[in-house]
Structure 1
Amino acid sequence: MRAWTSPEVPDLTALGLGPGPAAHVHDTARGKAVVLDPEGRARMYVCGITPYDATHLGHAATYLTFDLLQRVWRDRGLEVVYTQNITDVDDPLLERAAATGIEWTDLAEREIALFREDMSALRVIAPDHYIGAVESIPLAVALIERLRERGVTYELDGDVYFSVHADPAFGEVSGYDQATMLRLFGERGGDPGREGKRDPLDCLLWQAERPGEPSWDSPFGRGRPGWHVECSSIALETLGHDFDVQGGGTDLIFPHHEMSASEAQVATDDRFAKAYVHQAMVAYAGEKMSKSLGNLVLVSRLRADGHDPMAIRLAVLDHHYRTGWEWADSDIVDAAKRLGRWREAFASGGPAAEPVVAAVREALADDLDAPRAIAAVDSWVDAAMAAAGDGVPGSGRTVASAVDALLGVI
């Protein structure tokens, strides 16, 4: 699948600023910040959207968070290999298509195109591997076959299940107890109450063909892969096992990231990912922003209303990724004012650039603390405005390049 075109990212070492510091980011599985400083190359997998509606600010927050991590790694001098999937066949997509009378393939294609436009407008660095669920079906089938050969699958009325407790590490990603797992599994697409399963938490690897739904041939009969095995197989194919970061929203911690990891770990006898990084939920009108509730603030709508995408980016980045927050309509107004001041100061110049660049780098390396990085730029801008153009020659251009490289704002 085709991704969008990545923005040009300035190389700050070419400006004599040297490489940035190593990233320290909170790992959900260990419950603490860990150093993410691989030698030479960083590998990251971030779960993509199910394309049955346009990109809302909850999505934007997730992809901007991992865009920051990419930028910190690149500023460090690392090569980054980034994979993102897109779940272009799944129950919610099929249900929305049926409800609206649109072919599911047409609906997916339309929303994927809009997602690309939103990511491009927000200057998100594109993934190296952007892979849809449909095109990855052969990868999922191959992984299911490996698991079947290991004796950790079973069939139930034509469906193929994975025995999650075949992985001794099952539960270590989330740290949740059994009761919490069962509750979340039922709420988030699982079937803990299905009769005939060996364990209520066992997850679907292959769903046998259902009337009126798309299906594909496989050694297990016609059908389609389950949700978790899609990501497991794509990640293993493009990144290998023991890659650096598995990312997504906190709603994916369980069951999705837990079960994806277990499937891969049983198949490979190795750790799936070194760290699991999760974006907190974004709310609007008192509820978590979600397609099912319909309380969405859409990136495309904000853009259509004439808001600068860089103001949208700034408004989202002004919240730490691990803290849930609620969008207010005034956020975009405040961000536009801030953006205007920044651009004015960059054009006129101000104090020396090196201290503010160091402060932004330090903030982002400290668990992607974008609000602290933004505050550091604000302080420089205040000083620049007070100096009324009487500053260090070229400082404005240097700070602008750093803000572009590290925060993705121009």
Structure 2
Amino acid sequence: MHAWPASEVPALPGKGRDLQIHDTATQGTITLAPGPVARIYVCGITPYDATHIGHAATYNAFDLVQRVWLDTKRQVHYVQNVTDVDDPLLERALRDGHDWTELAERETALFREDMTALRMLPPQHYIGAVEAIPGIVPLVERLRDAGAAYELDGDTYFSVESDANFGQVSNLDAEAMRLLSAERGGDPDRPGKKNPLDPMLWMAARPGEPSWDGGSLGRGRPGWHIECVAIALDHLGMGFDIQGGGSDLAFPHHEMGASHAQVLTGEFPMAKAYVHAGMVALNGEKMSKSKGNLVFVSALRRAGVDPAAIRLALLSHHYRDDWEWTDAVLAEAVARLERWRAAVSRPDGLPADGVVEEVREALSNDLDAPAALAAVDRWVDAQNASDGDDESAPGLVSRTVDALLGVAL
């Protein structure tokens, strides 16, 4: 599966700062200082409705991570999956009378278009669950043969008790885990499971549903968590720098994936930092497919909204905060974009070296995009209120906003 084209990232004078980021597992801020190549895995979409503002906010956060690392003169090895076979996708295809593969391909193509328009840097490896199946099956067999998995009516489950570190990603108690498991795709009440929290690794073939050769597992399809584990281990290995996604993935998805990987490799932890973006609401409720209260990036673009304004609207909120999308949020972003473009369109201006360093400092501090916007706002306000004679300043501000915030002025 191919990703989307990369926009050029301008080089800035000097060098950026190492990233300090909030780690869900330790519940504190840690400093990441990767080697020459920083490694990041971000969980991708299930392509039956793409791309809403909640998606965009999440991928914007991890795009900022890439930009901070690139500014430190590191390379970035970024991997993202597409869950192109799963219950929600199959259910939507059945409901709407579509072929599930065509639905997945169409929505994935739309996601690529939206990411391109928003100037999100693409992953080096963009892998669908279906194409990962040949690598998933041996991992499930290894877990089973090691006694970390068991069969139940033809399905194969992972035993969470096989991982001594289970629970150290989300830091939730058993009751909270059980409630979230039921809410987020698990089956804690299924009779016969050794532990209600045990997640499915391989689902035996069901009538009328797609299935693949699972070797000794029989025909079926993979569970949700093992999909990301297989892709991450194949392309990044253990101990990569960031495992990222929305805050609703901390449990069960990232918790279970970490346990799968840790049992498979005998190493801990799977990722140095577990980083989670907040949820976006509309009309007082979390924006979600189940509620049908989605604002789509493609719909905004069709309505003539500049993708740069959409990106500025996302950047106006800290990535870890839960926030609400409103007309006012978008209007403020449109107005900010106009002010910024007017300021950098002048032939000269006030010195801007300080702006570069302020934006760098803000983003290195747990991706504080609102503080970065405020730094640019201060320069823009001063630029529009007075005359300057630095011919390089407007271009430097424009390159800074492009390189570090992903906004083309």
TM-score, length basis structure 1: 0.98
> What is the one-letter code of the residue matched to 1:264?
A
Kindly provide the CA deviation profile for residues 129-154 of structure 1, in whole angstroms up to 9, marking residues without a partner as x: 00000000011112112212211111
Q: Which residue of 2 aligns with 1:256?
A: 253
CA deviation after TM superposition for structure 1 residue 333, in Å: 1.6
State yes or no: 1:396 paired with 2:394.
Answer: yes
Q: Which residue of 2 aligns with 1:215?
A: 211
> What is the one-letter code of the residue matched to 2:262?
Q
> What is the one-letter code of the residue matched to 1:119?
M
CA deviation after TM superposition for structure 1 residue 176, in Å: 0.1
Cα distance in 2 for partners of 1:274, 1:146 equals 24
Say which SS state the counterpart of residue 160 (structure 1) adopts.
Answer: strand
> What is the one-letter code of the residue matched to 1:241?
M
Cα distance in 1 for partners of 2:326, 2:16 equals 33
Aligned with residue 188 of structure 1, among 172, 184, 188: 184
Asked if 2 retains the 8 angstrom alpha-carbon contact of 1:94 and 1:104, the reply is yes
Aligned with residue 347 of structure 1, among 325, 345, 348: 345
Q: Which residue of 1 aligns with 2:355?
A: 356
Q: Which residue of 2 aligns with 1:302?
A: 300
Asked if 2 retains the 8 angstrom alpha-carbon contact of 1:350 and 1:380, the reply is no
| Superposed structure 1 runs of 4+ greater than 3 Å apart | none
Asked if 1 retains the 8 angstrom alpha-carbon contact of 2:141 and 2:217, the reply is no
Cα distance in 1 for partners of 2:48, 2:400 equals 36
Asked if 2 retains the 8 angstrom alpha-carbon contact of 1:140 and 1:229, the reply is yes
State yes or no: 1:64 paired with 2:63.
Answer: no
Say which SS state the counterpart of residue 238 (structure 2) adopts.
Answer: coil
Cα distance in 1 for partners of 2:319, 2:66 equals 15
Cα distance in 2 for partners of 1:247, 1:401 equals 27
Q: Which residue of 2 aligns with 1:205?
A: 201
Kindly provide the CA deviation profile for residues 219-240 of structure 1, in whole angstroms up to 9, marking residues without a partner as x: 2100000000000110000100
Cα distance in 2 for partners of 1:140, 1:290 equals 29
> What is the one-letter code of the residue matched to 1:63?
Y
> What is the one-letter code of the residue matched to 1:365?
S
Aligned with residue 82 of structure 2, among 86, 89, 114: 86
Cα distance in 2 for partners of 1:19, 1:324 equals 31
> What is the one-letter code of the residue matched to 1:233?
A
State yes or no: 1:407 paired with 2:405.
Answer: yes
Kindly provide the CA deviation profile for residues 119-178 of structure 1, in whole angstroms up to 9, marking residues without a partner as x: 000000000000000000011112112212211111000000110111100000000001
> What is the one-letter code of the residue matched to 2:309?
A
Q: Which residue of 2 aligns with 1:113?
A: 109
Q: Which residue of 2 aligns with 1:311?
A: 309
Say which SS state the counterpart of residue 248 (structure 1) adopts.
Answer: strand
Cα distance in 2 for partners of 1:54, 1:85 equals 14
Cα distance in 2 for partners of 1:202, 1:25 equals 30
CA deviation after TM superposition for structure 1 residue 391, in Å: 3.3
Say which SS state the counterpart of residue 127 (structure 2) adopts.
Answer: strand
Q: What does 1:79-158 align with in structure 2 at a 5 Å threshold?
A: 79-158=75-154
Asked if 2 retains the 8 angstrom alpha-carbon contact of 1:184 and 1:255, the reply is yes
RMSD value, Cα: 0.7
Say which SS state the counterpart of residue 136 (structure 1) adopts.
Answer: helix
State yes or no: 1:77 paired with 2:76.
Answer: no
Aligned with residue 34 of structure 1, among 30, 35, 55: 30
Cα distance in 2 for partners of 1:24, 1:158 equals 45
Cα distance in 2 for partners of 1:344, 1:329 equals 23
Q: Which residue of 2 aligns with 1:336?
A: 334
Q: Which residue of 1 aligns with 2:10?
A: 10
Q: Which residue of 2 aligns with 1:228?
A: 225
Aligned with residue 241 of structure 1, among 234, 238, 243: 238
What are the ranges of 5 or more consecutive residues in structure 1 without an aligned counterpart? none
What are the ranges of 5 or more consecutive residues in structure 2 without an aligned counterpart? none
Asked if 2 retains the 8 angstrom alpha-carbon contact of 1:350 and 1:383, the reply is no
Aligned with residue 282 of structure 2, among 281, 284, 289: 284
Aligned length: 405
Cα distance in 2 for partners of 1:54, 1:67 equals 18
Asked if 2 retains the 8 angstrom alpha-carbon contact of 1:350 and 1:381, the reply is no
> What is the one-letter code of the residue matched to 2:19?
A
Say which SS state the counterpart of residue 135 (structure 1) adopts.
Answer: helix
Cα distance in 1 for partners of 2:35, 2:194 equals 43
TM-score, length basis structure 2: 0.98
